[in-house]
Structure 1
Amino acid sequence: MFRILVSDKLGQPGIDRLEQDQTCHYEVKTDLTTAQLIEAIPAYDGLIIRSGTKVTADVLSAARNLKVIGRAGIGVDNVDVKAASAAGVIVMNTPQANSVATAEHTIASLLAVCRHTAPAHASLLSGQWDRSRYSGIQLYRKKLGLIGFGRIARLVAQRARGFDMQVIAYDPYVSAEVGQQAGVELVDLDELLAMADMISLHTIMSPETENMINAESLAKTKKGVIIVNPSRGKLVDEEALAEAIRAGQVRAAAIDVYRNEPPDSSHPLIGIPEVLHTPHLGASTLEAQRDVAEQIVAQVLDALNGIDFRNSVNMPFSVGPNFSEVEPYMALASKIGALQFHMADAPIRKVELELVGEAVEELAKPVATGLLKGLLENITSDSVNYINAPTIANELGIEVSQSTGLSGSDYTNLITCSVEWDGGERVISGTLFAGQHPRIVQVSSYRIDVDPQGTMLIMMNKDVPGVIGNVGTLLGKHGVNIAEWRLGRSEKGDQALAMINLDSDLSDRALEEIQNLPAIVKVMLVQL
């Protein structure tokens, strides 16, 4: 019989499911310190948590019988997933359970802002009856702009169309055909800003999207636009939004998430009457909490019984080769996918995977899902894992194909990924030395030998003297040490490709100085 520890408060439906199950014995022990968890965890096969329990490498080191960690919710920031993978522990979450709740909260926020529900309520309680002051606007025939078009945004679009709203969306990684199927027009960001009466944010948080709603983007919006943020606090420059509201460029805003939570009284949006504030309530419904509890218990029980591993964030399949033998190939494929994303000049539309070598030809599914995970986790706000990566690729309209053993190779195993985007394509190949050590060995026409890990500077440069010296001098000037410098060229005097492993991060200023060197054609910084 499996033993399961529930270390955070879990909805009663989940506890009821554990109580009824005949294959497990469970215990609820909440508010454990790290030391107490380390002492208790060796006795358990499964661990169910929410956001309170921190599953560190030390905890996992002590968890000699642990097989699965179930996170009731989406985020797994409180779990050392890398250490869990190394320990052979499956980590799973419930990425879909909160989607409807968040979509409904988005629509509720729009309605509340448009009809002044919160201030009108407060006014009435204070003894006033001021109908004209709180005259609002309708959703009917308004144009809603969705920034990001993942699962939650699509649910918002469905509900908005029920109000006869026209819905447009910006998501460079979703094809126009996918938008058409949902009854939504895909436009570029500037078009959305200029056209939308109301804008709702549903995109991933990344260096590219941080502060995407800023003074510059707000100046491009319709005068009187309404902004809703149920997604990530750092998507919005809060000072700029406050100023835009005071200036009348933005009519109102509904904010459910903040850069720092909870916000203090000095927050720039606190105290502005046109802003509706809620304390991160997007997923806070009885139904969502019920669904989260039921789903995570069902998933953990199925995993322990070898039935299914759905919503795993670190394991690709439930049957087949030993995971410890497959994982290095999947990790290599994930690095190749991440490189393809970062090096592409436009959103990728087509992915082709070729596997050559006895070791990899039988691993098409896990290698393909590893590749897609590395590619997609940079471009979608949805939680991407080995299980759902192919589905998300399909939802984004990315065409994926696989083949094995079609061409010869100088390597005993070779993973080759070809991608296409509008107006371009690129091929990246990688291999494992001794079955464990990943290397990138080809980028299009460039033969190269690169360790794909950590901070990497990637450059296209003219094949002329002095490039290595000039770039090395600039890196030294900014206190950045070079771990490895790998160079490839297709022919003398043409362009060369450099892939440089760095010992530390590189500032935007340093990157700009490198880009401004006369021989540099293109440069980018990638974290692998």
Structure 2
Amino acid sequence: MFKILVSDALSEEGLGVLKSSKDFVVDVKTGLKADELKGIVGDYDALVVRSATKVTAEVIEAGKKLKIVGRAGVGLDNVDLAAATAKGIIVMNTPGGNTISTAEHTMSLIMSLSRNIPLADASMKKKEWKRKDFMGVELYNKTIGIVGLGRIGMEVAKRCLAFGMRVKAYDPFLSREVAEKIGVELGTLEDVYRAADYITVHVPLTEETKGMISDKEIGMMKGGVRLINCARGGIIDEQALARGLESGKVAGAALDVYVEEPPKDCPLAKFGANVVLTPHLGASTEEAQVNVAIEIAHQISDALLGKGIRNAANFPSVDPETYHALQPYINLCEKLGSFTSQIAQGALTEVNVTYSGDIAAHDTAPLTMALMKGLLSPMLQDTVNFINSLSLAKDRGIRTTELKSLQSEEFVTLVSLEIKTDKETHRVAGTLLSKSDPRIVKVDEFYVEAIPSGCMLLMQNWDKPGIIGNLGKLMGEHNINIAAMSFGREKQGGRAMSVLNVDSCVSAELLEKVKKQPHILSAKIVEL
């Protein structure tokens, strides 16, 4: 008998799936404070949440029996995934359940913004008749820029095409062939910013996407551009957007998400007809709430009853015994993928992975899923997991091949990864030390022994005396401790690679100083 706690409102259809099984006891207790949740969560095998409940490290630590945390929705911002993984708790979400509702809400905001519908409605209800005050613009023949062509972005693109709009998009993980097949033109972010009459963002909130549209980006845009955000608050800098509206560079904006929710002092609230604001309604349709509730209920039921694991953010679909044997390699492959993704530039087009030595005797499918999850996660974040990583890659036109060789000349076991983008090719290889410690042993043509963990500074340089001393001094001046170093070179005096693990991450300002050091050819930051 498994006990399931539902701590946020879930549709009756979803609850019915769980309550219909004689194997489950289901308790619905919504509105719990953090201490109240911590006080009772230890009695349960599974916890079902939406967005209100914060599943913190403290909650996870208190969940002594917890096996699964299920999020009825896409984002996992409210779940401490690292803490759950460390405790062996499976975290699931429902990445497809609110796709249509969010795409439709995006279109609703675009239409409302274009035709001044909210203020026109308010005016009519005041018994006014001010037609001239609400002159609008047509969508037909306008260019919409879509940043992020995942599930939601793709549905928005289809609807915009139906309105006769030209669709220009940016997505580094989508192939040009797939985009052209549906009538979408791919370009760089700058291309999108400069060409679009409307810009809508559909990417997760990450360090890379936080504030990705700010003063500089708005400065690139057409005069009279209109901006829409139904993804995550903070992708568009709210203060910069307000300045763009005040100057007239931005003709209008429509937001469903905010840096702070609910917003206490939103700088956009003071604007009139040219700004439309809604209280995070993207997934607020009856259909979407039913869909995600039923989906997460079935996922949790199947996982608890040993019928399979779907849409897990931190667990591949394998039986427990196999997972125990493969877990160190799964960890290695995910880190290898993430590392390679972060050093590459351009749109990913091809992935080739080779398993050599002892590991080739195993079922390597979970390893390839982990590797692809690592490759896609820096961009797609919580919309990609072990289960959907390969299908997402296929949807984006990324060709994937897997080869095995029982022989490994250099190591007992070796995972070799080659990725190709529209700009460059990278080859990275990794292995395990002492059967559990991952190491990156080759980056392109350089042999290294780098620990794939934390903040890493990756540099190419000329093999000259004094480089390490200069870097050590520079790091010391910025109070950054070097935890580990690894070096490789082509030949004495030739090109070399240096990999530093540092205890605190290198700022953008310090990275520029590193690049200006004598004999440094390039420098990048990788965070794992």
TM tier relative to shorter chain:
over 0.9
Secondary structure, in 3 states, of the residue corresponding to 2:245? Answer: helix
Count of residues paired in the alignment: 527
Q: 1:424 to 1:190 in 2, by over 3 A?
A: closer
**Range with bigger deviation, 94-103 or 160-169:** 160-169
Partner deviation per Cα, 1:462-519 (whole Å, 9 max, x = no partner): 1111100111111000010111111111211111111101011222221111111121
Tell me how far apart the structure 2 counterparts of residues 156 and 381 of structure 1 sit (CA, whole Å): 20
Q: How does 1:41-440 map to 2 (within 5 A)?
A: 41-265=41-265, 267-273=266-272, 274-319=274-319, 321-380=321-380, 383-405=383-405, 407-440=407-440
Kindly state the Cα deviation for residue 386 of structure 1 after the two structures are TM-superposed.
0.2
Q: CA deviation at 1:57?
A: 4.0
Shift of 1:35: 4.6
Deviations 1:44-74 (A, max 9, x none): 3222122333334444444443322211112
Contact 2:256–2:278 (CA<8 Å) still a contact in 1? yes
Q: Tell me the CA shift for residue 102 of structure 1.
A: 0.6
Q: Once the 2 structures are TM-superposed, how far is the Cα of residue 189 of structure 1 from its aligned partner?
A: 2.3
The verdict on how the C-alpha distance between 1:163 and 1:424 changes in structure 2, with shifts beyond 3 A counting, is: closer
TM-superposition CA deviations, 1:154-196 (whole Å, max 9, x none): 0111112222222221122211111012221112222222322
Given residue 105 of structure 1, which amino acid in structure 2 is its aligned partner?
H
1:357 deviates by 2.2
Which residue type is aligned with residue 55 of structure 1? V
Is the 1:213–1:236 contact (alpha carbons within 8 Å) kept by the matching residues of 2?
yes
CA shift for structure 1 position 407: 4.9
Residues in 1 aligned to 2:197 and 2:77: alpha-carbon distance in whole angstroms: 35
Of 237-246 and 251-260, the range deviating more from structure 2: 237-246
Bigger CA drift: 290-299 or 311-320? 311-320
CA distance in 2, matches of 1:70, 1:201: 26
Displacement of 1:78: 3.0
How far off is 1:127 after superposition?
3.2
1:382 deviates by 6.3
Shift of 1:100: 0.8
- Name 2:522's counterpart in structure 1: 522
Cα deviation per residue 1:414-439 (whole Å; 9 max; x = unaligned)?
11111122353221111111221111
Change (3 A) 1:100 1:88: same
* Contact kept in structure 1, 2:347 and 2:423, CA below 8 Å: no
Q: Which amino acid letter does the alignment assign opposite residue 268 of structure 1?
A: P
| Structure 2 gap segments, 5+ residues each | none
Q: Which amino acid aligns with 1:520?
A: I
Which consecutive residues of structure 1, in runs of 5 or more, have no partner in the other structure?
none
The amino acid of 2:80's aligned partner reads D
Contact 1:154 1:182 (C-alpha < 8 Å) held by counterparts: no
Partners of 2:60 and 2:280 in 1: CA distance: 30
- The residue type equivalent to 1:144 in the other structure is I
Q: CA deviation at 1:381?
A: 6.0
Letter of the 1:213 counterpart: I
- State the Cα distance separating 1:402 from its structure 2 match: 0.5
Partners in 2 of 1:219 and 1:321 — Cα distance? 56
Deviates more, 1:78-87 or 1:462-471: 78-87
What is the identity, as a one-letter code, of the residue corresponding to 2:81?
V
Q: Deviations over 1:398-424 (max 9, x none)?
A: 111101116523322211111122353
- Bigger drift between 316-325 and 481-490 goes to 316-325
Provide the aligned C-alpha RMSD in A.
1.9
Q: Structure 2 vs 1, CA of residues 54 and 323 (structure 1 numbering), >3 Å: closer, same or farther?
A: farther
Contact map agreement 2:67 2:88 (CA 8 A) in 1? yes
Q: Counterpart amino acid of 2:269?
A: I
**Separation (CA, whole Å) in 2 of partners of 1:235 and 1:463:** 41
Give the partner amino acid of 1:123. Answer: S
Output the amino acid matched with 1:342.
Q
Work out the CA distance in 2 between the residues paired with 1:18 and 1:441. Answer: 47
- Indicate the SS of the match to 1:233: coil
Deviation at 1:38, TM superposition (A): 4.2
Identity across matched positions, percent: 39
Note if contact 1:3-1:26 (Cα within 8 Å) is conserved in structure 2: yes
| One-letter amino acid of the counterpart of residue 129, structure 1 | W
Which digits, 9 at most, give the CA deviation of each residue in 1:331-353, with x for residues without a partner? 11111111111111333321111
Deviation by residue 1:213-266 (Cα, 9 ceiling, x = unmatched): 22232232222221111112222122222222222222211111122222234x
Give how far 1:84 is off: 2.5
Query: In the aligned structure 1, how far is the partner of 2:508 from the partner of 2:62?
Result: 41
Letter in 2 for 1:207: E
Instruction: Judge which range, 104-113 or 25-34, deviates more.
Output: 25-34
8 A contact 2:361–2:406 mirrored in 1 = no
Q: Flag the 1:55–1:276 CA change in 2: closer, same or farther, 3 A.
A: closer
Aligned residues of 2:433 and 2:439 also touching (Cα < 8 A):
yes
Between the aligned partners of 2:213 and 2:40, the Cα distance in structure 1 is: 46
